[in-house]
C-alpha cells in the first residue's frame, strides 16, 4: 500500500522560498500510471491544485502559480519536492502531496496527511 509523507519547515518568512518534500513508501515513484502532485488548502477553505510531475520529469503547473512554482523528482530517494518562491501570507495553507492516477481515469488516489506552512515574519 503506497503511503506519502510531507516534510519541511512549518514557518517561512515573506518573500522567501517555501520548500517541501514528499517521501513515497510502499511503491515506486517511477510507476508509469501515476503522476505526483501537490495540492494546498488554506484554513477553512477549499482545495487548490498546485502542479504535478511525471516519472520522466515532465511537469504541469496551475497557471495561477506557475511563475513561482518548481516541482522536481528524486527517484533515487523515492521523493518529489515543491518549491514556491516569493511567498506571502496568502500562501499559508496545509500542503498535501498525492499520487494521481492518470490512465483513462484521472484522480488523486493516495494523499499524504498534509503539512501546515505558515508565512509570517
Partner 1 sequence: DIVLTQSPGTLSLSPGDRATLSCRASQTISYNYLAWYQQKPGQAPRLLIYGASSRATGIPDRFSGSASGTDFTLTISRLEPEDFAVYYCQQYGSSPMYSFGQGTKLEIK
- Interface residues with partner 1 (CB under 8 A) are 37, 46-49, 52, 60, 62-64, 96, 100-101, 104-114
CB closer to partner 1 out of 43 and 88:
43
What DSSP string runs through 6-58? EES-SEE-TTS-EEEEEEEESS-TT-TTEEEEEEEE-TTS--EEEEEE-TTS-
CB of 65 to partner 1, least distance (A): 9
∠ at Cα 3 (90, 111), nearest 5°? Answer: 35
CB closer to partner 1 out of 46 and 121:
46
Residue whose grid cell is 514556491: 84
Cell of 110: 493516495
CB of 62 to partner 1, least distance (A): 4
CB of 114 to partner 1, least distance (A): 5
d(CA 50, CA 43): 16
CB of 107 to partner 1, least distance (A): 4
CB closer to partner 1 out of 88 and 106:
106
Amino acid at each position: 500500500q503506497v503511503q506519502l509523507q510531507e516534510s519541511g519547515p512549518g514557518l517561512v518568512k515573506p518573500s522567501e522560498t517555501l520548500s517541501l518534500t514528499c517521501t513515497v513508501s510502499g511503491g515506486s515513484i517511477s510507476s508509469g500510471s501515476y503522476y505526483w502532485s501537490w495540492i494546498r488548502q488554506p484554513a477553512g477553505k477549499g482545495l487548490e491544485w498546485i502542479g504535478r510531475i511525471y516519472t520522466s520529469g515532465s511537469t504541469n503547473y496551475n497557471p495561477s502559480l506557475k511563475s513561482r512554482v518548481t516541482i522536481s523528482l528524486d527517484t533515487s530517494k523515492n521523493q518529489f519536492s515543491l518549491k514556491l518562491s516569493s511567498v506571502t501570507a496568502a500562501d499559508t495553507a496545509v500542503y498535501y502531496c498525492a499520487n494521481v492516477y492518470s490512465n483513462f481515469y484521472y484522480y488523486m488516489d493516495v494523499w499524504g496527511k498534509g503539512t501546515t506552512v505558515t508565512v509570517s515574519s
